[in-house]
Amino acid sequence: MPRQTMFSGGGKMIRNFDARSAILSFVILFAGLFIWQITTYVPETELVGTVLSDEQQEVLLSKDMAAEDIEFYASQGIEFSQIDQIAGLGLSREMIEMAGGIQALGISAPDENSAPAPGSLFPSPGQIGTELWATITDPFYVAGTNDMGYGIQIGYSLLRVVIGYTLAAAVAIPLGFLIGMSPLFYRALDPYIQVLKPISPLAWMPIALFTIGDSELSSIFVIFICSLWPMLTNTAFGVANVRADWVNVARTHELGSVKTAFTVILPAAAPTIITGMRISIGIAWLVIVAAEMLVGGTGIGYVVWNEWNGLRLDRMIVAILLIGVMGMLLDAAFARLQRAVAYTE
Amino acid sequence: MSKPFVSVERLTQQFPDGAGGTLTVFENATFGIEKGEFVCILGHSGCGKSTIMNILAGLAEPTSGVVKMDGFEVSGPSLDRGVVFQNYSLLPWLSALKNVIFGVKARYPDWSKEKVEDHAKEYLAMVGLDGDAIHRKPAQLSGGMRQRVSIARAFANHPKLLLLDEPFGALDALTRGTIQDELVKIWGGTEQTVFMITHDIDEAIFLADRILLMTNGPHARVAESVEITLPRPRSRTTVVDHPNYYAIRNHLVHFLGERSKELAGQDTGAEDNKPETIRLGQTGPRPAPEPVLEPEPESSGPDLRAVNQ
């Protein structure tokens, strides 16, 4: 009787539900990867080379041509008659290359660019997997200013986000408290907040670059300005909506305004404030990628743009994947914080 | 004539009525509360009971009139006046114990952590809360348990005046009875002065030394002060058998049913608009000091209404 098993043993059903959702997730993943693999599949092209008969080999060897040179020219797809011509020159491969290659000597050879184009430039999941593994196993290498491990590049981005975000929190939360507790300040500052809030954070970039001058500080400023608004408005809303009863409890216990703010209003408004902080960190992580594409230099956003310019799509996709994972971790950290301060009335 | 411990003098509260005029909720409300006395105030909705309580607590300002406690004018909230709100007003992010500790710490900032905690636990035990329950958050407690925590928090602070704003209004009848018994028990042990708002006539009779009756609003006032001439300690089952019980109860029912309407807007005619003191039934020797009573020649007659001054 399947009906009975459905309705008996809730815990078991939830475990089954977890397992079912996990299985479905994997099915979707493998289906996606499979389709991706198919569409980016490039059939192994036949080795473009000339097959020399034993007699032809003998002829060339008898003209004092090194065996490995014969093999090399054959692999380049050069016909026997032309190799014979090269052999007639009596020059080693090194000397020919120093002279500018066989083309410079008037011997026609198949052009590399005329080789059949591969089916797709877009990397297959396999290629990305290889690149991802390389990144995971060696995330912190430094091989030059434009070639650093993604661990380091994510670190740069994270540092900018943390600095800009912390500054924003240091301004937004006290200011939000003030606005939330004082109707006068709320009314006075509301128009500014309403106008400044919808401005795209990147629109501040030119102003920042002009006034601050430094591109590093400018991207931090952009993070600051984009993290500010959700924290500010949520803190103000949370503080303004603390139940009057709880404030009265503080008043009847003769708590001063500072003590009331910390022992009653802060814990009461904490869930709303943390929600604002969670929205802010999400926006900051979105914006840092765009900001780094704009200012360049370091950071995971710059990496994406740099790999695109170098047409290393496999590395670019790995970088994009890392951005997603990092964003998820940041959000999860705030979700945990949110649960820690939550309360039910 | 000495002033009572708490003296409410000609309290008037007006609000804008939304149409450009003013609405006078109550006018010249005057009464006193003696030290150690348990006073209940009864009246219909809209007569301003809760406003009077908020003024006593210092949470609201009257339009005119003063409240004096111990000879000093009340201005702003104080730890000397503890409040138990109808909706418990526990801080939901703190456990029951922490809620009481919150109050005790505010009252005795120089006490050690252990002393504060022991004190809080002692008062929680007095209202029948101990063990695991005191570590639960208010959301995990029943309504009755929450109100017990709230009462423990108020009593633990030893306020000079305890204000209860319909503390049992949201509870079912059985729970209400149990907590009333606990309240009486704690009150008996502490000699606490209590002022309580209630809608429940039987609750008021069971708990109070004196019941203040308010006329209907607007222009409400405290019209009568009914002494509850029932011996203490009272028990829920025997108190109803006392001959005075129904005399008092009938008087209260008649007042709330008819006279609160008829008397609305009239002054008592007494000095300072003091309420008429009503004493019903046979009164035995009372241990409590008699408030503002001038010599009354007929005060011992059965079913007699004696008018003060």
pLDDT at A153: 93
Residue B3 falls inside a structural domain: yes
Instruction: Tally the residues of chain A.
Output: 345
User: CA quadruple A168, A171, A173, A177: dihedral positive or negative?
Assistant: negative
Predicted confidence (pLDDT) at residue A92 exceeds the cutoff of 90: no
Query: Which residues form the domain of A240?
Result: 133-341
| Lowest-confidence region among A221-225, B18-22, B71-75, B273-277 | B273-277
pLDDT in tens, A114-134: 444 455 578 888 888 998 998
- Number of domain units in chain A: 3
> How far apart, in Å, are the Cα atoms of A286 and each of A157, A194, A290, A326?
11, 21, 7, 11
Residue A5 sits in the same domain as residue A61: no
Residue A109 sits in the same domain as residue A141: no
Mean pLDDT across the stretch A298-308? 93
pLDDT in tens, B39-78: 999 988 888 888 999 999 999 999 999 999 988 898 889 9
Better-scored residue on pLDDT, B133 or A71: B133
Residue A8 falls inside a structural domain: yes
Beta-strand runs (E) in chain B:
6-16, 22-33, 38-42, 64-69, 72-73, 81-84, 161-165, 193-197, 210-214, 222-227, 276-279
CATH number for A243: 1.10.3720.10
pLDDT at A120: 57
Return d(Cα B62, Cα B47) in angstroms, integer. 14
Predicted confidence (pLDDT) at residue B197 exceeds the cutoff of 90: yes
Residue A49 falls inside a structural domain: no
Residue A272 sits in the same domain as residue A305: yes
Residue A119 falls inside a structural domain: no
Residue B302 falls inside a structural domain: yes
pLDDT at B271: 60
Residue A63 sits in the same domain as residue A186: no
Mean pLDDT across the stretch A155-172? 97
Dihedral of the alpha carbons of A52, A57, A60, A62, in degrees to the nearest 10: -170
Residue A94 sits in the same domain as residue A8: no
pLDDT at B265: 67
| Lowest-confidence region among A37-46, A271-280, B14-23, B88-97 | A37-46
Show Cβ contacts of residue A25 under 8 Å, excluding neighbours closer than 6 positions: none
Residue A108 sits in the same domain as residue A234: no
Contact with chain A for residue B139, Cβ under 8 A: yes
Predicted confidence (pLDDT) at residue A237 exceeds the cutoff of 90: yes
Contact with chain B for residue A254, Cβ under 8 A: yes
All residues of chain B having their beta carbon less than 8 Å from the beta carbon of residue A245 are 85, 87, 89
Amino acid at A186: Y
| Lowest-confidence region among B23-32, B178-187, B275-284 | B275-284
Residue A184 sits in the same domain as residue A72: no
pLDDT at A54: 83
Residue B219 falls inside a structural domain: yes
pLDDT at B140: 93
pLDDT in tens, B252-300: 999 988 888 888 766 666 666 778 888 877 554 444 444 444 444 444 4
Residue A200 sits in the same domain as residue A280: yes
B interface test, pick of A247, A252, A274 with most B CB neighbours within 10 Å: A252
pLDDT at B176: 87
| Residue contact B107–A252, C-beta within 8 A | no
Residue A334 falls inside a structural domain: yes
Better-scored residue on pLDDT, B49 or B302: B49
Residue B21 falls inside a structural domain: yes
Residue A123 falls inside a structural domain: no
Closest CA to B222 of B84, B48, B14, B64: B48
Closest CA to B220 of B58, B12, B1: B12
Show Cβ contacts of residue A82 under 8 Å, excluding neighbours closer than 6 positions: A73, A102, A107, A108, A109
Better-scored residue on pLDDT, B277 or A274: A274
Query: Which residues form the domain of B10?
Result: 1-36+45-76+202-309
Return d(Cα B132, Cα B128) in angstroms, integer. 12
Chain B residue with CA closest to A249: the answer is B89
Mean pLDDT across the stretch B161-184? 88
| ipTM entry | 0.81
- In chain A, positions 102-141, which contact chain B (CB-CB < 8 Å)? none
Residue A27 sits in the same domain as residue A66: no
Residue A39 falls inside a structural domain: no
Return d(Cα B191, Cα B197) in angstroms, integer. 19
pLDDT at B302: 43
Closest Cα in chain A, distance from residue B57 (Å) = 7
Residue A179 sits in the same domain as residue A319: yes
Residue A14 sits in the same domain as residue A88: no
Residue A298 sits in the same domain as residue A174: yes
Contact with chain A for residue B1, Cβ under 8 A: no
Residue B186 falls inside a structural domain: no
pLDDT at B218: 82
Residue B256 falls inside a structural domain: yes
Residue A157 falls inside a structural domain: yes
**Contact of B194 with B79, CB cutoff 8 Å:** no
Contact with chain A for residue B93, Cβ under 8 A: yes
Residue A122 falls inside a structural domain: no
Single out the residue in A70, A85, A114 at which a domain terminates.
A114
Chain A residue with CA closest to B59: the answer is A248
Using pLDDT thresholds of 50, 70 and 90, give the confidence band for residue B178: confident
Predicted confidence (pLDDT) at residue A113 exceeds the cutoff of 60: no
Residue B145 falls inside a structural domain: no
Using pLDDT thresholds of 50, 70 and 90, give the confidence band for residue B301: very low
Mean pLDDT across the stretch B182-192? 84
Phi, psi for B14 (deg, rounded to 5): -125, 140
Percent of chain A at pLDDT above 70?
90
- Number of domain units in chain B: 1
